[in-house]
Amino acid sequence: MFQWDEEWNISFAGCGFRSIYYLGALSCILERVPQLVHGASKICGASSGCLVAAALAVGIPIEQFCVDVLNVAKEARKHTLGVFHPTFSLLRTVRESLLEKLPEDAHLRASGKLCVSLTRLADGKNVLVSEFDSRDELIQVLMCSCFFPVYCGFIPPSYRGVLYMDGALSNNMPLFEQRNTITMAPFSGESDICPTEGTFNFFEVHYGNVSIQVNTGNVHRVCTSFLPPRLEKLAEICHNGYMDALRFLRERDLLGTQCLPPSLVSEMDAIILVPFICEVAVDQPLCTKQYLYEYICCLYVCVIVLCEACRESHDGVSWWSQLAEFLPVKLVLYLLSLLMLPIELTFLLAKR
């Protein structure tokens, strides 16, 4: 039984593009037991998890964060090499989004509430930051926690004159050691909210204070965390987060302890939207009428993701997209991209 009379924290592990898992989980909690989020003493995170924590701490609606994840994934997929293309900077894209979305008093809202994990470059020690003197300083801390060497570039960002890198490298689950901390991770293991794995688990490892079972499902999850998935895959991850959070609430006997807020999607909206989306996404494996009815009624954020996925799939069916699916054509396109890299890199350096 959850102890409401004690202080509790929420901690998000770093997981790259799979952070949309948290949006599904949070939409479930905010819909059914919102006090579990609003009453948390500290909201913690490392790497991409700190962006989710920051959004909660400063009051950014999760649907806005959801749209940002979609836009970054779509932008990265436009390039042949994805996030590794020299003209695409994941860290710059995240920074521009933070400058646009964070309110002017974000540092005041976050101070004392948000806890960000950093890894000091000089000695690899972990540093937890919970106080921010300005909005720019808050953005610097978030950028430091998200900087994964090579993947995000070669020059690490700094905070108060000290170089830092990805907080997940030293502590991927801040404040996990405190008894009343609710931990979330999109990898099956011992976190409070995480996927359950039906396959055989060889053994379990602990990386950055996150429990990760060694199985084929987690190998796939870890490897694809660094690559932008297709939008329908993001919708599936988001939905899994919702269902895992719902299971957590049931196991902790938290359902029914709070009054439910008005539904984000009314029954009439669901009746209207279900046939429409099923018609648009008839060929999508995720889109069955029963699945979508549950999807829309319980998870508004995931509906946004699914609609985007279905729209992209529906609009993208052309002779060129079909032709590009053939292996010889793919190989030619990749070869042309590699030949163009020196030219694009030279242009990028000249522009800077």
Contact 130, 42 (CB under 8 A): yes
pLDDT for 205-230, tens place per residue?
A: 887 888 888 888 888 888 888 888 77
Q: What is the pTM of this model?
A: 0.75
The percentage of residues in the chain with a pLDDT greater than 90, rounded to a whole number, is 38
Average pLDDT, rounded, for the chain: 77
Instruction: Choose from 38-47, 60-69, 143-152, 214-223 the range with maximum mean pLDDT.
Output: 38-47
Q: How many CB atoms lie within 10 A of CB 230?
A: 14
The answer to which of 118-127, 239-248, 279-288, 333-342 has the lowest mean pLDDT is: 279-288
Q: Active site includes 47? A: yes
Does 271 map to a domain?
no
Instruction: Choose from 6-20, 256-270, 283-297, 327-341 the range with maximum mean pLDDT.
Output: 6-20
- Residue 241's domain spans which residues? 9-255+276-310
Query: So what's the pLDDT on residue 157?
Result: 93
Query: So what's the pLDDT on residue 270?
Result: 41
| Tokens 């011992």 -> residue | 190
Q: Average pLDDT of 156-166?
A: 94
Query: So what's the pLDDT on residue 320?
Result: 41
pLDDT for 163-173, tens place per residue?
A: 999 999 999 99
Q: Active site includes 269? A: no
Of 166 and 6, which is predicted with more confidence? 166
Cα–Cα dist 52/56, whole Å = 6
Of 215 and 120, which is predicted with more confidence? 120
pLDDT for 252-273, tens place per residue?
A: 988 865 444 444 444 334 433 4
Does 263 map to a domain?
no
Task: Please state the domain count of the chain.
Answer: 1
Q: Confidence class of residue 317 from pLDDT cuts 50, 70 and 90? A: very low
Which of 30, 33, 90 lies closest to 62 in space, CA to CA? 30
Residue 274, C-beta contacts closer than 8 angstroms, at least 6 positions apart: 289, 292, 293, 296
Residue 327 in this model has a pLDDT that exceeds 80: no
Does 329 map to a domain?
no
Query: So what's the pLDDT on residue 167?
Result: 93
- CATH number, residue 107: 3.40.1090
Q: Which helix (H) or strand (E) holds 204?
A: strand 203-207
Does 349 map to a domain?
no
Q: Average pLDDT of 29-52?
A: 93
Question: Both tokens of residue 249?
Answer: 């609430």
Residue 329, C-beta contacts closer than 8 angstroms, at least 6 positions apart: 323
Residue 77 in this model has a pLDDT that exceeds 60: yes
Of 204 and 137, which is predicted with more confidence? 137
Q: Confidence class of residue 51 from pLDDT cuts 50, 70 and 90? A: very high
- Of these residues, 27, 117, 166, 191, which one is catalytic? 166
Does 342 map to a domain?
no
Q: Average pLDDT of 331-346?
A: 59
Does 51 map to a domain?
yes
Which residue type occupies 244?
Answer: D
Query: So what's the pLDDT on residue 4?
Result: 77
Question: Both tokens of residue 265?
Answer: 């999607």
Question: Both tokens of residue 241?
Answer: 């987060």
Half-sphere exposure of 228 (CA within 13 A, CB side): 22
Residue 133 in this model has a pLDDT that exceeds 90: yes
Of 40 and 303, which is predicted with more confidence? 40
Does 3 map to a domain?
no
Contact 199, 27 (CB under 8 A): no
Residue 149 in this model has a pLDDT that exceeds 70: yes
The answer to which of 19-23, 151-155, 181-185 has the lowest mean pLDDT is: 151-155
- Of these residues, 11, 19, 27, 47, which one is catalytic? 47
> In whole angstroms, how far apart are CA 145 and each of 59, 120, 152, 177, 247?
20, 10, 11, 20, 30
Which of 12, 15, 13 lies closest to 226 in space, CA to CA? 15
Residue 115 in this model has a pLDDT that exceeds 90: yes
Does 338 map to a domain?
no
Instruction: Choose from 41-50, 143-152, 311-320 the range with maximum mean pLDDT.
Output: 41-50
Q: Average pLDDT of 88-111?
A: 90
- Give the rounded distance of the alpha carbon of 83 from its chain centre: 16
Q: Confidence class of residue 236 from pLDDT cuts 50, 70 and 90? A: confident
